[in-house]
Amino acid sequence: MKVAIPFNEALLGDKKRVGLDAYFWPSLAKRYRVVLLVHPAEKLYEEPPRGIHRLRPRISIDEQIRDLHMVSRLVVEGRAKGPRLGLTERLMLLFAPWLVMYRLKNESVTVPEEVQAKGLAEYILREGLQPTGKILWMVFEETNDERVLMPEDESMANVYSVLAERDDGYRRVAHEAIRAAQRDNLLI
């Protein structure tokens, strides 16, 4: 089963068109995750393909902008965590930073989810977000294994698969959308 999910279109900065997911946005259990639902408009349809069930927007662009302001004002605890540098490495950073960088190239840095979300919201708002009044669409399909909705576009699926894994609100509304689309298809 396929459904078309609505996105509110806006201009980011001077010219970049983006879409803000207007269906799943209000359902996320962790509100800071809404920043994951801002996507390049090039990945979205002006009109969904014929015969695909369209879901209605569940939030306005003004409410989405208010949510982004809320995320940008989050007081977050924690910071990026990387490998600890000993005294020798810290001194080497002053005189031979390339040696330290070479040593650290395979080390990973962990940034808490809330810190990343706050940074993304601040970036979006700093660039400026101007609503266009248009609705764009992304086609989602039901997955067989988890009975959850995932975008057809593979490049977008990573974000929504993380939400399906981590966010109860997303999973709940995805199940509701599947049931609604099935019910509406039976009525046709």
Dump pLDDT digits (tens) for 60-101. Answer: 999 999 999 999 998 877 665 555 556 555 555 455 555 555
Q: Per-block average pLDDT, block size 10, for the chain (188 residues)?
A: 94 93 96 94 93 93 97 77 56 52 56 84 94 97 79 90 92 89 65
| Residue matched to tokens 């940034």 | 111
Q: What does the pLDDT read at residue 116?
A: 85
Q: What is the pLDDT of residue 183?
A: 81
Q: What pLDDT, on a 0 to 100 scale, did the predictor assign at position 81? A: 53
CA 30 – CA 19 distance, rounded (Å): 20
DSSP 30: S
Taking the model in full, what pTM does it have?
0.80
- Dihedral pair phi/psi, residue 126, rounded to 5°: -65, -40
3-state secondary structure 72-110: HCCCCCCCCECCCCCHHHHHHHHHCHHHHHHHHCCCCCE
d(CA 159, CA 188) in angstroms, rounded, equals 32
Burial class (CB in 10 A: 0-12, 13-18, 19+), 39: buried
